[in-house]
Copies of this chain bind each other. A is one copy, B any other.
Amino acid sequence: MLSAMMDVMATTTRTPLSLDKPLPGFIPGDLAWHLGMILRGHQTLFAQAVEEMPCSVRGYQMLSTVIHHDPANQQALGAHLGIDRTVLTYLIDDLVTAELVERVPAPTDRRARKIVATEKGLAMLEKLEKRVSDAEQTLLGGLDAGETTQLAGLLGKLSMSVHQAQPGANPCEAMDHLG
């Protein structure tokens, strides 16, 4: 099964592809398998890196989103990460309990709460970002610098195309109208 993959890898040049067979050598569904494999490996490393974070990976992602993207309310935060609002409630509770974030009344809408990081949360993120960065490097250890750049570009592009194809089911949109 992996040998099929090597065939693809060998054709690093722009082999003209039949449009009917976008992934020569891949069995239909292999894409999912590879994605799953990579995601699982990533998840393992990521979870180790943010071990001390409440709610593990999602806790980190929430904190990171709060600090870097400053979403206007919980909904936006949840939509960005694909987390249901009812779930978000208790996830945020955990971060609040750990004193990493606070719920403050949103200035523009008294129904909404804005999630802001505490000093402790900021320090925590700063510390963990180094580890996460290391984890990402470890995951990408099998690729050289050029390949890493390529992959980042392709993933970004694909991610955007997914965004456009499924605007409704998609976390990204929420950030589009928030700052």
Contact = CB atoms under 8 A, between A and B. Distances in A.
Contacts of A5: 156-157, 159-160
A157 B175 contact: no
Which size class do A's interface residues fall under? 35 or more
A35 B155 contact: yes
A136 B140 CA distance: 24
Interface in A120-172: 129-130, 132-133, 136-143, 145-166, 169-172
A85 interface: no
Copies of this chain assembled into the complex: 2
Main secondary structure of the interface of A (DSSP, over half): helix
A108 interface: no
Given A31-B136, A161-B141, A164-B142, A22 B148 contact: yes
Interface stretch (A41-49, A96-104, A110-118): A41-49
B60 A149 contact: no
A149 to B, nearest CB: 6
A124 to B, nearest CB: 13
5 contacts: A9-B153, A31-B155, A33-B61, A35-B155, A139-B158
Interface of A: 1-2, 5-6, 8-9, 11-12, 14-17, 19-23, 26-29, 31-44, 46, 57, 60-61, 64, 68-69, 81-82, 129-130, 132-133, 136-143, 145-166, 169-172, 175
